[in-house]
Amino acid sequence: MSGKIDAFVDCVSPYSYYATLYLRKNRKALESHGVEVEFHPVFLGGINVGSGNKPPWTLPAKANYSKFDSERACKYFGVPPIKTPDFFPILSIMPQRCMIYIKRTYSQERFETTFLSLWEWMYHKNIDISKPEHLAELLKSHNYSDQEIKAILGAAQSPEYKEALTANTQKALDQGAYGAPWFWVKNQYGKEEPFFGSDRFAFMWQYLGLPFQDVTIVENAGKSRL
């Protein structure tokens, strides 16, 4: 069995955070079936504009519901409660370009753990990581040298990485993306299909032909039957 999950994620999206955590948690099991996972930084704002979608916080009904959904998701994925910072939403272009540079320059593990810190600093520490000085502090906490940090932040202003983020975003749009996380999945037969959101993994496992345990209700054995 083999397959590939291409995950298109943005640090401004909390559901991208949950999906990244979940896929990393299950990577060993996926690899045992020959399924590879790769994360691609995208600009969610560009996906929204390109697809005609509107961010959930701009629609009152969705904004009100998201308070409940966020709390439930945090419990399910095992992360501290998320507090939406006053500066939200951020313009995620700069940190996303930096993540592409780090992905190309460093190991997979270093890229992914640094990427996860973007969500952690913004949603748990309430630090605006779209500001260069704060992003530099984050990178320093991951033991990047001053010279490396200068190169990473500089890359975000270069034509190469501006184009790279645009290309990743356009690739997701070409696949039909209208939000994040967006997944493009190839199964063992070479067939490819899209999946959206952090709550569709059971559908993804079915598509990949993976053995898995779905959500089940455990019967209360102590309750007498009438």
Average pLDDT score, the chain: 95
Q: Give the fold, CATH level 3, of 3-208.
A: Glutaredoxin (3.40.30)
Phi, psi of 216 (to 5 degrees): -130, 155
Q: Please report the pLDDT score of residue 24 as a whole number.
A: 98
Matching residue, tokens 């930096």: 98
Q: Please report the pLDDT score of residue 57 as a whole number.
A: 77
Q: Please report the pLDDT score of residue 44 as a whole number.
A: 97
Q: What is the model's pTM? A: 0.94
Say if residues 213 and 8 touch (Cβ distance below 8 Å): no
Per-residue pLDDT tens for 96-154? 999 999 999 999 999 999 999 999 999 999 999 999 999 999 999 999 999 999 999 99
Residues with Cβ within 8 Å of residue 202, at least 6 apart in sequence: 212, 214, 215
Strand order in the sheet with 3-9: 35-41, 3-9, 182-186, 192-196
pLDDT band at residue 169 using 50, 70 and 90 as cut-offs: very high
Q: Please report the pLDDT score of residue 62 as a whole number.
A: 84
- Domain residues of the chain, as ranges? 3-208
By CB atoms closer than 10 A (0-12, 13-18, 19+), residue 35 is: buried
* Residue among 13, 70, 117, 198 flagged as catalytic: 13
Q: Indicate the SS3 state at residue 142.
A: coil
Matching residue, tokens 């997701």: 172
To the query of whether residue 13 is one of the catalytic residues in this protein, the response is: yes
Residue-level length of the chain:
226
Per-residue pLDDT tens for 24-68? 999 999 999 999 999 999 999 999 999 999 887 788 898 889 889
Phi, psi of 213 (to 5 degrees): -105, 115
4-26 CB burial, b ≥16 within 10 A, e <16: ebbbbbbbbbbbbbbbbbbbeeb
Q: Please report the pLDDT score of residue 226 as a whole number.
A: 53
CA angle 16, 165, 74 (to 5 degrees): 10
Q: Indicate the SS3 state at residue 190.
A: coil
Say if residues 165 and 158 touch (Cβ distance below 8 Å): no
Q: Please report the pLDDT score of residue 223 as a whole number.
A: 66
Task: Say what percent of the chain tops pLDDT 70.
Answer: 98
At 122, list the tokens: 């913004």
